[in-house]
Structure 1
């Protein structure tokens, strides 16, 4: 990896690891509806000039229904549930639970007829990953605020579903115009709720700063940097940030918000991330069969791109779910 690629990679690991911290700060003073409206509206406005260049917006009309499904499962539902859950959950716990997206993605690909075989290692990865989720969410479901944990896990499931839609139905859609349209649609959906819940007094500087950074850095600038990262190092390498973001989320919560780092968090981190790596690994390509045998040449394997979280995650070569929190 080049020095430029390493710098872009490091930037994305941080930029998409801190949204959970920022959401936690923002929802102390504004409602989830207002937060989602502000973040998506500002993000769409900031990205719109870039999306309009080259006429990329004109080619979206034939994909209106997949785009609608993608917007609902990537932004409309998840970002409200995530914001609502963080009113009761720590940002580090939220970031770790979201790390289960690749695990949910592997399950969805299998259940919807994916062509890649689920071998013993990948099944073991699923079991390990969900074991990590149980370690982390168990106490919350048992005696804390179970609905908050359910909201975060539902968000992870939605992200995985959005990635699947993007991979199968939106592969030919330019990523930046698609992102702008989906963000703008989400802002429109939340406009009535934001109007009703708009705070009577201006939020404090911390909340306003968190909202601004979420919109400007974690949404708008992040997309531009991510596209550059994919061009520099390729989509496969770029998606490795999926496994680094949770570590950043935990570190930010502990160091900045004084959240407690517990044994359960440490154990779940190892289990969830280890399980995700195993559950989404590609099977070894079978050896070629001699020409004389009926089997012919070896089959090729299909990459499960819908289980990743960035631009194998944004439709097409740079497409699917951003998982930016």
Structure 2
């Protein structure tokens, strides 16, 4: 991996890691549905000029049904679950539990397609990853437990959406157009709920800045960096962002929100990431 690609990887990890901080700051004053609406709408606006300059929206014709399904499964529902979870648990813990998404992808793939069933080291990886999830969720109580379970719901959504996209539009639509289509449709789907729960009074400048940054960076700029990294270094290296995001989120939470980095969080993170590496057959190769 070149220095440029390494820089892109770290920048992308830092931005996606900050999303959990911005969500936490947003839900302190806004309902989760409002945070979701602003996030997807701003993200779509950031991508719109680039989509217009790269072929426009013509490629989206004939793909409305899968785009709507992905908008719901990959954006609206998991974004809402994340925002809901962060009304109950720390932002860093949310990021750590969400890191189990690849584990759920492997399990769902083996359930949907028997030829994808896991054996050997991959099966051990699934078990190790789940042990990390159980450790993190098991130490939560009351409302915190509900929040942790909501994050597991997010991981399931992401796992299912990856498999669905692979069977429908992932090979027929350019990633940029597909991302914009999802975000634009997500804004339409989220609008009734976000508008209905909009605050009666204008929130603080900090809350507004947090959700705008969440959309512009986490759902706009991050997509551009991700696609650039895939084109430059390949998808197998770009996916390494999965391993770095939780670490950034934990650091942000500790510095800016005074969240405690607990031993259970660190052990759970190690188990989840180690299990993910085994379950997905990931290998870290340098050039």
Query: TM-score, with normalisation over the residues of structure 1?
Result: 0.83
- Are the equivalent residues in 2 in contact too, given 1:132–1:267 (CA < 8 A)? yes
Query: Which residue is equivalent to 2:152?
Result: 153
- Deviation larger for 244-253 or 127-136: 244-253
1:240 aligns to 2:237 (yes or no): no
- Are the equivalent residues in 1 in contact too, given 2:81–2:150 (CA < 8 A)? yes
Q: Deviations over 1:111-144 (max 9, x none)?
A: 111644522111111111011001101122x544
Query: Which residue is equivalent to 1:312?
Result: none
What stretches of structure 2 of length at least 5 have no aligned partner? none
* 1:146 CA drift (Å): 2.7
* 1:88 CA drift (Å): 0.7
Aligned equivalents of 2:282 and 2:43: distance in 1?
35
- Are the equivalent residues in 1 in contact too, given 2:59–2:177 (CA < 8 A)? no
Moved over 6 A (4+): none
Aligned to 1:252, the other structure's residue is in SS state helix
Structure (1 or 2) with the larger CA radius of gyration: 1
Aligned to 1:17, the other structure's residue is in SS state helix
Q: Check 1:269–1:102 CA distance in 2 against 1; reply closer, same or farther (3 A cut).
A: same
Query: Which residue is equivalent to 1:303?
Result: none
Structure with the bigger percentage of helix: 2
Aligned to 2:17, the other structure's residue is in SS state coil
Q: Deviations over 1:247-269 (max 9, x none)?
A: 11111111221111111111101
1:15 aligns to 2:9 (yes or no): no
Query: Which residue is equivalent to 1:124?
Result: 124
Aligned equivalents of 2:193 and 2:18: distance in 1?
26
Query: Which residue is equivalent to 1:173?
Result: 173
- Are the equivalent residues in 1 in contact too, given 2:66–2:168 (CA < 8 A)? yes
Query: Which residue is equivalent to 1:201?
Result: 201
For residues 256-267 of structure 1, what are the structure 2 equivalents within 5 Å?
256-267=256-267
* 1:151 CA drift (Å): 1.1
Aligned equivalents of 2:60 and 2:173: distance in 1?
7
* 1:56 CA drift (Å): 4.3
Query: Which residue is equivalent to 1:27?
Result: 27
Query: Which residue is equivalent to 2:192?
Result: 192
1:2 aligns to 2:17 (yes or no): no
Aligned equivalents of 1:52 and 1:246: distance in 2?
33
Aligned equivalents of 2:247 and 2:261: distance in 1?
12
What stretches of structure 1 of length at least 5 have no aligned partner? 284-325
Query: Which residue is equivalent to 1:97?
Result: 97
- Deviation larger for 52-61 or 158-167: 52-61
Q: Give the count of matched residue pairs.
A: 282
- Are the equivalent residues in 2 in contact too, given 1:52–1:177 (CA < 8 A)? no
Could you say what the CA RMSD is over the residues aligned between the two structures, in angstroms? 1.6
Query: Which residue is equivalent to 2:77?
Result: 77
Q: Deviations over 1:183-221 (max 9, x none)?
A: 111111122222222112221122112112111111111
Aligned equivalents of 1:52 and 1:132: distance in 2?
43
* 1:93 CA drift (Å): 0.9
For residues 218-229 of structure 1, what are the structure 2 equivalents within 5 Å?
218-229=218-229
Aligned equivalents of 2:160 and 2:188: distance in 1?
22
* 1:77 CA drift (Å): 0.6
Aligned to 1:18, the other structure's residue is in SS state helix
* 1:89 CA drift (Å): 0.8
Aligned to 1:200, the other structure's residue is in SS state coil
